[in-house]
Structure 1
């Protein structure tokens, strides 16, 4: 993990707390998990995390940040989620970055479809807090269905929702909190619409028991019933690995399923080489840190020191493996790299998964943290949070390659009380359905939702979960 950016977050929020006297006892990670368990609505869960994470000991704060990042993704704060949990992959020490002289960038969906022609299991992974890693699965669903894949398995689903396929869309009780994120909801909708048999498969237990249980569930629910079946699996992180490595001594789900079924999966990774710590956000932090040098507090200027002249500029962020590949290939869509000689796909760990998918940058707009934190009113106390990431701009990938259009939204009905949630539900679905899109306003502002043409209920919801306004809207074809 990038401890530096975690530190930046708490330095900024700590400054904001100078004028905010909050007297509360320290919380443990166990307290945090116990308190969040009964909170089933997304906004109360976010508010609880914002209020509680600063009370955790330093060693537990990264876990708290992971929960916060997932919550932010559920609420449409996609850039904030990536910024606030800069999870860093430990890549192989002998990794040789691909060069354009030897590798050709091709469309990831087309490449995977070609590689899947002789396969009966395709697995794609995601980073749970980074919904950009869900776009690929959504794009693959119709292509794989046309190739005869009839089963779709998603880690976030709960087998207890027996009415899911008949209903046609997921609700808040259909699975884990990950499913509450709008794009994950659309993945399940699309799979049902295309006629896939939906397969929940997650399991509990120790790390090895969970991997074994997932593999056994997939085998029993698919191949034991239909030995000739074709299965598409959407999983998290290293569950798709065909060998031990990223999970230490634990044998991953894909490895165990291959042993049970005798079928070698096509394993597609999106999490090793990813925009895990946007360079624009690191630069914004460095600008903030540079400005901080010039102030003793947020109110009292400091006397200039040697070396603080016009030539003293903020440090530029270093280039990681992802940034290097982006600079080499300049992708504007998800890509796979094929070797010029044998058309073999590039994989950062070729013995563990078959290919690496590289997503284009999603967070390149400049942010400004020099004005300090935003103060939210939660539980009748002021709670500091980081300002919007990516300059407040929602990622362009949310258009889904032009399938969704921008619908302007603002804080008109928020009554100047924040946080305030604006969300759109498909008009034909119940209020319990996972929304088509949503955005959490942290301050008075304007932004956009990304919606397909059609009819929606647009709602504004306050921090207590109460609906402040609801209206029907029609989104026209672009």
Structure 2
């Protein structure tokens, strides 16, 4: 049985191996990963190299890392396929409609429970940015409930947390690794800063899983002690929110006397929990918190969030409304013609015009051969849209504006 690699193992692998981009083709999978994470202008050729070779390394590791790399450039459906290839678990047969749903929506539940505690934690799947869409929507509700600190596993040390806290957004460079360079994660951080959250790190570097869980719990307890009366929103990876098996949430409960909320949103194969029989209430926007339900939690968590119906990972497809992040972004289609006829690849990126050119894009999509457009999702604002071909060459750059969901070109 293949094993899910912990986030710290991924980060450790990247830290010890990051190299600057050169013209020499990488000869190993790890070298190709290092080249990819060190790239910005050469992101497309580095991505193509990763996918063009049949690497002899452990296939579970290879496919998990390919999934992470694909999520970073907006290829969410491909990321899901590759993550599933990393494991040999058969897809479970449908058990029919859930009979254990709680009363009301997840939004109702969170509104009534979050004010009673000083800490709320929720998990995300690192290769499933759809899980970050829920985190994004939770931010304004929790801010209204008095939460002022956002502690994220992706903020792997205090230096990166302080830098983004001061700047207001992450940079698209090797220091951010994979997670912070994924566009929706970038939007989570921007929204947190717009709302007035302070960003903090609680990650614990350790090669021993038990030491990492205990260290994370101790770091969170230290944040709460240092900021008495503050309310903390924690975004953890995968099973760290479980109150069992020695995971971080269980360790925190042992050293932190007050109650806290632990929320799970993952189901089979680390993808969001769904129920095709659940229908969103009338008037609730698709994939909004008001459309989601909840049930008693798995793995010792308080609840598991259940998404209504089904959703799509393909951009622009029916069921891809989650990409609007609760209706705050609108859908826009950009042709890949600027990359030339018969392009092998075309990376289309939209960056905020008032941010550094090195900022993580508001959205991006790496179109493969034969794909004639890239679907991006953007908030109202001004952007610089760039197009890079398979060689990483900048082919075109345009200034655009989005107002009330309508796109226009800026001279």
* Rounded Cα–Cα distance in structure 2 between residues aligned with 1:89 and 1:356: 25
**Helix, strand or coil for the counterpart of 1:150?**
strand
Q: Is 1:438–1:449's contact at 8 Å kept on the other side of the alignment?
A: yes
Aligned 1:3-402 pairs, distance under 5 A = 31-39=28-36, 40-41=38-39, 42-52=43-53, 54-56=54-56, 60-86=58-84, 99=98, 103=101, 106-158=104-156, 159-161=158-160, 162-173=162-173, 175-205=176-206, 206-220=208-222, 222-244=223-245, 251-273=246-268, 276=271, 325-326=275-276, 328-331=277-280, 332-333=286-287, 337=293, 345-349=295-299, 352-360=300-308, 361-363=310-312, 395-402=320-327
Q: Is 1:254–1:265's contact at 8 Å kept on the other side of the alignment?
A: no
**Helix, strand or coil for the counterpart of 1:117?**
helix
Aligned partner of 1:456 in structure 2 is 383
Question: Greater shift after overlay, 60-69 or 173-182?
Answer: 173-182
* Rounded Cα–Cα distance in structure 1 between residues aligned with 2:102 and 2:254: 33
User: How far did 1:394 drift?
Assistant: 8.7
Q: How many residues in Structure 1 have an aligned counterpart in Structure 2?
A: 360
Change (3 A) 1:391 1:193: closer
User: How far did 1:477 drift?
Assistant: 0.8
Change (3 A) 1:36 1:89: closer
TM-score of the pair, normalised by structure 2: 0.79
1:421 aligned onto 2:347: yes
Q: Which runs of 5+ in 2 are unaligned?
A: 3-26, 281-285, 406-411
Q: 1:387-425 CA distances to partner (integer Å, 9 max, x unpaired)?
A: xx6897793321223221122201111123322100100
TM-score of the pair, normalised by structure 1: 0.68
**Helix, strand or coil for the counterpart of 2:115?**
coil
User: How far did 1:261 drift?
Assistant: 2.4
* Rounded Cα–Cα distance in structure 2 between residues aligned with 1:126 and 1:439: 21
Change (3 A) 1:70 1:431: same
Change (3 A) 1:469 1:337: closer
Q: Is 2:32–2:46's contact at 8 Å kept on the other side of the alignment?
A: no
User: How far did 1:96 drift?
Assistant: 8.2
* Rounded Cα–Cα distance in structure 2 between residues aligned with 1:192 and 1:473: 24
Q: Is 1:105–1:329's contact at 8 Å kept on the other side of the alignment?
A: no
Change (3 A) 1:165 1:253: same
Q: Is 2:122–2:264's contact at 8 Å kept on the other side of the alignment?
A: yes
User: How far did 1:356 drift?
Assistant: 0.7
Q: Is 1:171–1:432's contact at 8 Å kept on the other side of the alignment?
A: yes
Cα RMSD of the aligned pairs, angstroms, is: 3.0
User: How far did 1:272 drift?
Assistant: 2.2
Q: Is 1:78–1:395's contact at 8 Å kept on the other side of the alignment?
A: no
Q: Is 2:136–2:325's contact at 8 Å kept on the other side of the alignment?
A: no
* Rounded Cα–Cα distance in structure 2 between residues aligned with 1:392 and 1:33: 34
* Rounded Cα–Cα distance in structure 2 between residues aligned with 1:242 and 1:123: 11
User: How far did 1:431 drift?
Assistant: 1.5
Q: Is 1:36–1:48's contact at 8 Å kept on the other side of the alignment?
A: no
Q: Is 2:214–2:251's contact at 8 Å kept on the other side of the alignment?
A: yes
User: How far did 1:258 drift?
Assistant: 2.5
* Rounded Cα–Cα distance in structure 2 between residues aligned with 1:139 and 1:454: 19
* Rounded Cα–Cα distance in structure 2 between residues aligned with 1:460 and 1:346: 46
Q: 1:67-121 CA distances to partner (integer Å, 9 max, x unpaired)?
A: 1111111111112212222277989x9x987645x63564323322222121111
The structure whose Rg is larger is 1
Q: 1:283-323 CA distances to partner (integer Å, 9 max, x unpaired)?
A: xxxxxxxxxxxxxxxxxxxxxxxxxxxxxxxxxxxxxxx67
* Rounded Cα–Cα distance in structure 1 between residues aligned with 2:271 and 2:221: 33
Q: 1:14-49 CA distances to partner (integer Å, 9 max, x unpaired)?
A: xxxxxxxxxxxxx8xxx4224412432243442232
* Rounded Cα–Cα distance in structure 2 between residues aligned with 1:45 and 1:195: 36
* Rounded Cα–Cα distance in structure 2 between residues aligned with 1:32 and 1:394: 35
Q: Tell me which of 363, 381, 387 is aligned to 1:437.
A: 363
Q: Which runs of 5+ in 1 are unaligned?
A: 3-26, 245-250, 278-321, 339-344, 365-388
User: How far did 1:163 drift?
Assistant: 2.7
Q: Is 1:78–1:394's contact at 8 Å kept on the other side of the alignment?
A: no
Change (3 A) 1:171 1:390: closer
* Rounded Cα–Cα distance in structure 1 between residues aligned with 2:236 and 2:45: 27
